Structure 1
Amino acid sequence: MLLAEPRFSGHRLAYVRVLAEEALRRDQLVHVALPSDAVDSAEFRVHLSDLLGRVSFIEIANFGLNALEETSKRVNASRTVVTDGDGLALELAKRGSWRGAGRLSVLIMRESVQHPGPRILRWLKNGAKKAIVGRAAFLPGVDLAVLKSATWSGKSALRVAVDPVQLSCSSADVEAIRMDWGLDSSKYWFAVLGAITPRKNVPLLADSISRISRMNVGLVIAGKIEPSIRQEVDAAVQEAEGAGVNVVVVDRTLSDRELDAAVTVADCLLLAHSNEGPSGLLGKAACAGTRVLAAGARSLRVDTEGLAGLAEWVELEADAIADAMNHARASNGSGARIATGSDSFLKALLPVG
């Protein structure tokens, strides 16, 4: 088995770990191909370091279809799995064939194109991507799947890989996070978690929470902050604190256990995304029974519809988010939780036979 991931940011390496553990359970030899700087990253230490000695790691300086095919032949892979395969799908569609060893599994992480321009241009680009993905999906030797949220239910013309949801924390882990981060249980804690990138709109959320009644309200920002926005995030934190909001910032890559505990301890998870695509954190919140306030991405709107009573979606606008924050604080109801599991994900990317 060859597992290949051209990018290691966010939760991509968590997907690699899920696949590697399943392949090892099947008594397969596992090779993991990563960019040359991935092994020294915090993401590697969190997600894959415990696999050292159990799998072999290969560095690929320039990811692409040709390099991937050569690597698959070198390790004599019966199957190669690419967990962020959007770019590879374009190469496959252009060439029209997979020439590597064994079969190829490709995961499309973003069905829609992330384009901030005019609607007509976004519509054209989405149409083009749909055609590219459709062509790649039906090439000989290729098993292509699209990533869907853990709350997704419906029909798809393509193979679907439902986001694997796992909660690895204990009640002791939850209490440890509460104590270590100083999350006073008398406050209602909103949380922005995971990799803190521009798409998570921290300044907008800080502005929104500054507009509501701040009594007994706190904001947690926990996860590695992208250096390019650190100054912007610091300014947003100062704004919220100046308005009387208690803000806790944890600027580092969280372990799986810490992330799961943070999702569980939060009163409301904030998902204000500028781009489309499924959110693994939404699935974790749904498992933990944590309320979700989503904004922006239409894909989040669809996903929250499956969490009636536990989630709300609004436009990506400060007043709308502030109103939803007030509504979340006032709501004592709970919605139906979803079960953890990775069966769909594994079945789609590691089919048997």
Structure 2
Amino acid sequence: MTSRPSVSGHVVVLGAGYAGAHAARGAREGGVQVTVVDPSGDHGFLPRLAGVAAGRSSLGDARAALEDLVDVDVARHVAERVDVARHEVILAGGGRLSYDALVVTVGAATHWPDVPGLRRHATSLRDAEDALRLRATLPRTGSLVIVGGGSTGVQLAAELGRARPHLAITLVEEADRLLPAEPASLASAAGRLLRDRDVEVLRGHRVRRVDAGGVDLDGPARRRDGTVLWVGGWQAQGDALLREATTRDGRLVVGRHLEVLGAPGVFAAGDVAAHRDLFGQPLSMSAQIALQAGRVAGANAAALVTGRRRRTARLLELGRVLDVGGGRGVGRIGPVPLGHLGTDRVVPLLHLSVDLRHLWKLGGARAVIEHAPGRDVGVTATVGATGTRLRAVG
């Protein structure tokens, strides 16, 4: 595959997630040709996956074709590595795509630690297909063991606890409290909500072994049976794409303009990048940081190509909101916790406003109308010998 850059230059974006979609929009507004390389070509709404798995939301809520949101070219390919010297992306199968500037936003993959039986017997929750496979599995199991008490695990356990009251759900977290990256008050609110939905929470337990029937744990609770879902963290793999670049735990180290250190002409944003806030402190992986950084990285890539001035990334973590269904949620605005004394009812509204703002900034009113959560689009999922087949209806 070869590219044909326009006279204004050609920016290539790797990945169609939150950072990638906003990078594409930022670069497009800079007046350059933009090509997004992504295997599916879909933009995934990761915070909506728990609702899809629980049956509250449809497949249409979980993903949208990137072309429906941003006016860019989409190349449905896997990017294997970047040849920085030649300004080319090497694609699976041997194709090459040239660029004038590149934005890497490939996100992070599920982190699978070296636990016996984990990869063979556990599943994860990273995209719409994962959510629908889990949804198809639930009627055939009486119990579910979710490993990982971060935001994904808490949201999923709470959603399923409400939607599947006869399903025995255990949430296992290795740390001594839920949401270990958040304030203790938020962890406490999450724990109360999960208890209200009859979810068993085991804190301070490490998974020692996974088999077809469940998990073996250390600590007082030695064994929990059930279908195992692993949401125990994510691992960036930026060093696999950019061998010349400086990385930290697989995340690409970037400068103030989000250009990758050791890779001229290459920018990075989202989970694959080691972002810092206004005070120089490391930022965790999150959608809000991804979309802020993506917009800056895309705009700066276009500015590099067209000879304009680049701007400094000023990334700000404003808080966190987790909509857990049933008109309830937990979260915080800055340091102020939400989840106590009726504030849990405010969280879903905040979550919706963030979701709609994301759509508006990508594609305006049309994107909001066509891709807001709760659209009347159904999905069927059938499971055969080769896996789950998905078919959107309605």
Same fold (TM over 0.5): no
**Taking structure 2 as the reference length, what is the TM-score of the superposition?**
0.27
**Taking structure 1 as the reference length, what is the TM-score of the superposition?**
0.29
More relative contact order in 1 or in 2 (CA 8 Å, sep 6+)? 2
Q: In proportion to residue count, which structure has more helix?
A: 1
